[in-house]
Structure 1
Amino acid sequence: MKKLGMCLVLALFNFAVHAQKTPAAIKFPSLDASPLDALYYPLNATKVKKEDTSMPIIKVLYSRPQRKGREIFGVLEQFDKVWRLGANESTEIYFDRKVTIGDKKIKAGTYSLFAIPSKDKWTIIVNKQTSRWGLNYDETKDLVRVDVPVTKIEKPIEALSMTFTDLEDGVNLVIAWDFTQVALPIHFKK
């Protein structure tokens, strides 16, 4: 009986010693300078109550580069050149139903967004290519290009920002950075 008790004490001691060993330190990446963000429509889609089974109609995933005192459009992001509409991976937009952008009907699914900024207008591009890093853009995969006017704003926006504003038959995807703002109308049945 004493041997059994002693074996039990040794086993517990051995267990306690091994349980206290910590795994080797894992090096996690530091915070990205242009963090990934998600935008949903409706804007409160991620905050609905448990009983609400509605799903987001639109989701945008985009990285948010910072202004950091730089002049953005025409300098950092050249006028009349394709831009990935963010940083890091290309910006992606998901529709849970058929939408219309410009005069083009677009099926439910995930697409990438690009832009060609100019001084007075932007050309917003919806493209079939997804999950690409950097400006890995293939014009042959464009679904639609829509020109939208530029609105100058008085107070600069520090980080690239996006939101939705309601339209009677859809939403505007509002994009702002530095002193520039544009709105892309997206039409669908509510």
Structure 2
Amino acid sequence: MRKTILLTGIMLGSLFVSAQSRFPTVDKSPMDMSYYPANYPILKIQDKAAEPLLARVVYSRPQKNGRKVFGELVEYGTIWRLGANEATELELFRDAKIGDTRVKKGRYTLFAIPTSSKWTIILNKDNDVWGAFRYDSKKDVARTEVPVQRVADPLEAFSMYFEKTNGNINLVMGWDDETVRMPISFF
């Protein structure tokens, strides 16, 4: 009887360990999502959504971890996926204008080429990519340059959110001591 109980315990324990090992480890740069209007899914379920969903961004949030980010970890003048892991994706639910370019509603990958004074933000039609390793400029849909603003209180995690401004919105991106705003207008 003891052997049977012991054998059953060992089998159940190994099943428990085996089941746990199937789950991936927690990512050091967790994925996040921002909406415009902010908290749209919650507002929608509460029947409080005063505006239709216009945009959503999905991105991973790398951490500063005591490092100097811009100019070192993220090299100036080099293509960057705007975050970590999978390249950041922007979904527009209406036709829009980014910089001087009209963009059809749809899902796009966002890249940036940062410098110390400005970032060139790029919308690209190649989706579901990891990093910027196979970035292809021939698939660019729009490019716009936005000025860098320095902040006194550095951000530990790369962050993105939408803000309303003059009837349009900005996609605000920041990390360490740099913040940029990419204007988006809808028609």
| Superposition TM-score, scaled by structure 1 size | 0.84
Match of 1:31 in 2: 26
Q: Which structure 1 residue ranges, 5 or more long, are not aligned?
A: 1-20
| 4+ residue segments displaced more than 4 Å | 21-24, 52-55
CA distance in 2, matches of 1:137, 1:158: 27
Match of 2:74 in 1: 77
Cα deviation digits, residues 131-181 of structure 1 (max 9, x gap): 001212111001111010000001110000011111223101000000000
Q: 2:148 aligns with which of 126, 147, 150?
A: 150
CA distance in 2, matches of 1:51, 1:74: 45
Q: Does 1:51 align with 2:47?
A: yes
Q: Which structure 2 residue ranges, 5 or more long, are not aligned?
A: 1-11
Q: Secondary structure at the match of 1:154?
A: strand
Q: 2:35 aligns with which of 36, 40, 61?
A: 40
CA distance in 2, matches of 1:100, 1:83: 22
Match of 2:117 in 1: 120
CA distance in 2, matches of 1:52, 1:42: 11
How many matched pairs?
170
**Cα RMSD, aligned residues only:** 1.8
Q: Secondary structure at the match of 1:140?
A: helix
Larger radius of gyration: 1
Percent identical across equivalent pairs? 44
Q: Would the aligned equivalents of 1:169 and 1:188 in 2 still touch at CA under 8 Å?
A: no
What are the within-5 Å matches in structure 2 for residues 99-138 of structure 1?
99-135=96-132, 136-138=134-136
Q: 1:160 aligns with which of 151, 158, 161?
A: 158
| Superposition TM-score, scaled by structure 2 size | 0.85
